[in-house]
Amino acid sequence: MTSIATAGVTPFAADLDSLERDGFSQDPQWIRALRKDAMSRFNSLGFPTARRGNEEWKYTDVRPIAQAPLRLARAGEAPEPTASDIAPFLLGDGSWPRLVFIDGFFNRGLSTPLGGQEDASVLSLAGALHSRSATARESLGRLAPYASHGFTALNTAFAHEGAFVHIPDGLTLEKPAHLIFLTASREGHTVSQPRVLVVAGAGSKAAVIETYGSLTGAPYLCNAVSEVAAGPGASVEYYRIQRHSEEAYHVGTTQAALGRDARLDSFTLDLGGALVRNNLNALIDAPDGSCALNGVYLATRSQRVDNQVTIDHAKERGTSRELYKGVLSGRAKAAFHGSIIVRKDAQKVDARQEDKNLLLSDRAEANVKPAFWIYADDVKCGHGAASGRIDEGSLFYLQSRGLGEEEARNLLVQGFVNEVIDKVKRPSVRSHVAELVKARLKEL
């Protein structure tokens, strides 16, 4: 079904071989085996470039990625970034645990990790593979399936650099963990593959923020995979703020698994990228799990943004809420594919999903596919989708109250996205998001 020129596969396979001999050689055996298996999966899968019968990638053609002369990023190929380079991406009062990655590599100087053996920890994954091998092994590569997903397989094949967030049972991560992934290489066509593992023990509480951004105007691929395991009664806030340059390709997969009574609150903001694809999957694998997955995407010029959100209600009495909104201008093209699965016997599930698009230009395009797959009868599932432009009546009303057209328009667009932004649970993140959105809307 999927294919890639052999030339595209071989360099990655050879890269892995040489890394295993060198940089990865000290890693525990289990992760080396995992990488090897994932590499062979990627060799047979390639990138999902097929256009026929490729339902999952129906609205996003990844041939630009598959055909680009991609190569793995090298450590230190960009000039060492300074504190002021990363300042625009920072959040919070400076006391938050923070991990900064440049071109996929952990930058110790810019980071403020957290961690004692008994306490909550926010660490570089490469280190945690040794110091927390048992915990990492339990979940890494177990949640995000790579057997049939090319991008996930490729990331797993190089799983080494990344972030490790662990909150033991009953503890609370006091300050949110901020993970910043920046690409700085000026040579272009680099691939960085961040890997994030969040393990929240029973009854624990945590907030994790992933920020993606560029310090370069060169094109590159950021292929990120995050795994979030929320134990029984755990509550996890998960934020993803994507601010790549408009030259970048970004494929981000997040796989969350929720235990009994667990709660996941997720918010995804997409501002940048030439071609962006987010896969967010929440598996509610025990009774009474609940989640709210929300998102905002703003795109202009020739940006492509594709959000694929799947909520899998595998057990009874789950609740899920989903609200995504997009504002599109220029020749931007957005896709939203939301799936809600209710498995057999997952009774009393209550799921609601909504996607709305505002089209500001006559060349913008929105493709929406909200889907249900329901195998239990005692459920309440609803979805809604709407697309349109700014309501002329409202615009007229505001103008009649003395607002200029531009001002009135901005107010209405802002109001449209505020419905989602207001749902961001943590005030510090909410105000950060609101500012970013406000600034970006001016450019649309």
49: amino acid identity, one letter: T
Binding flags for other proteins, 317-346, as an x/- string (CB under 8 A): ---------------------------xx-
Is 249 within 8 Å of 277 (Cβ atoms)?
no
Contact with other proteins (CB under 8 A) among 7, 25, 55, 84: 55
Q: In angstroms, what is the minimal distance from the CB of 328 to other proteins?
A: 8
Q: Name the residue nearer to other proteins (CB basis): 110 or 328.
A: 328
Query: By CB under 8 A, is residue 218 in contact with other proteins?
Result: no
For other proteins, give the closer residue by CB, 214 or 357.
357
Closer CB to other proteins, 120 or 360, in the complex: 360
CB closer to other proteins, 376 vs 403: 376
300 and 330 Cβ atoms separated by less than 8 Å: yes
Give min distance, CB of 433 to other proteins, in A: 25
Question: In whole angstroms, how close is the CB of 360 to other proteins at the nearest point?
Answer: 7
Residue 360 binds other proteins (CB under 8 A): yes
Least distance between other proteins and beta carbon 329 (Å): 9
228, 359, 408, 436: which one binds other proteins (CB under 8 A): 359
Among 249, 392, 271, 275, which residue's Cα sits nearest to residue 328? 271
Residue type present at position 1: M
Binding region for other proteins (CB under 8 A) out of 52-60, 104-112, 262-270, 277-285: 52-60
Greatest pairwise CA separation for the chain in angstroms: 71
Give me the least distance between CB of 59 and other proteins, in Å please: 8
| Residue among 129 and 359 whose Cβ is closer to other proteins | 359
Considering the complex, what minimum distance in angstroms separates the CB of residue 333 from other proteins? 9
Under DSSP, the state recorded for 401 is T
- CB of 366 or CB of 433, closer to other proteins: 366
Strands 195-200 and 365-374: unpaired
- Toward other proteins, which CB reaches closer, 347 or 428? 347
CB of 341 to other proteins, least distance (A): 9
In the complex with other proteins, the residue whose CB is nearer, 245 or 394, is 394
Region of 76-84, 269-277, 358-366, 397-405 interacting with other proteins (CB under 8 A): 358-366
C-alpha pair distances (Å), 436 with each of 1, 85, 267, 439: 39, 17, 14, 5
Smallest separation, CB 381 to other proteins (Å): 4
Long-range contacts of 95-98 (CB under 8 A, 24+ apart): 95/175, 96/175, 96/176, 96/177, 96/178, 97/122, 97/173, 97/175, 97/177, 97/178, 98/122, 98/177, 98/178, 98/179, 98/180
Q: How many helices (H) and strands (E) does the chain have?
A: 10, 21
**DSSP-based helix, strand, coil % in the chain, nearest 5:** 25, 40, 35
Interaction mask 361-390, other proteins, x per CB under 8 A:
xxxxxxxxxxxxxxxxxxxxxxxxxxxxx-
Q: Using the rule CB under 8 A, is 405 a contact of other proteins?
A: no
395 contributes a contact to other proteins by CB under 8 A: no
CA 165 to mean position of chain CA atoms: 16
CB of 389 to other proteins, least distance (A): 4
How many positions of this chain bind other proteins (CB under 8 A)? 38
Nearer to other proteins, 375 or 431 (CB): 375
Q: Which of 131, 133, 245, 347 binds other proteins (CB under 8 A)?
A: 347
Q: How far is the CB of 348 from other proteins (least distance, A)?
A: 11
52 is a contact residue toward other proteins (CB under 8 A): yes
CB 136 within 8 A of CB 196: no
Tell me the three state secondary structure of residue 82: coil
Nearer to other proteins, 78 or 349 (CB): 349
Whichever of 248 and 328 has its CB closer to other proteins, that residue is 328
Q: Is 76 helix (H, G, I), strand (E, B) or coil?
A: coil
37 and 140 Cβ atoms separated by less than 8 Å = no
119 is a contact residue toward other proteins (CB under 8 A): no
- Residues ≥6 apart with Cβ < 8 Å to 144: 152, 156, 225, 226, 227, 253, 255
Q: How far apart are CA 326 and CA 332, in angstroms?
A: 11
User: Cα–Cα distance between 293 and 249 in angstroms, integer?
Assistant: 23
Exposure string over 153-185, b if 16+ CB within 10 A, otherwise e: bbbbbbbbbbbbbbbbeebebebbbbbbbbbbb
Binding site for other proteins (CB under 8 A): 52-53, 55, 344-345, 347, 357, 359-389
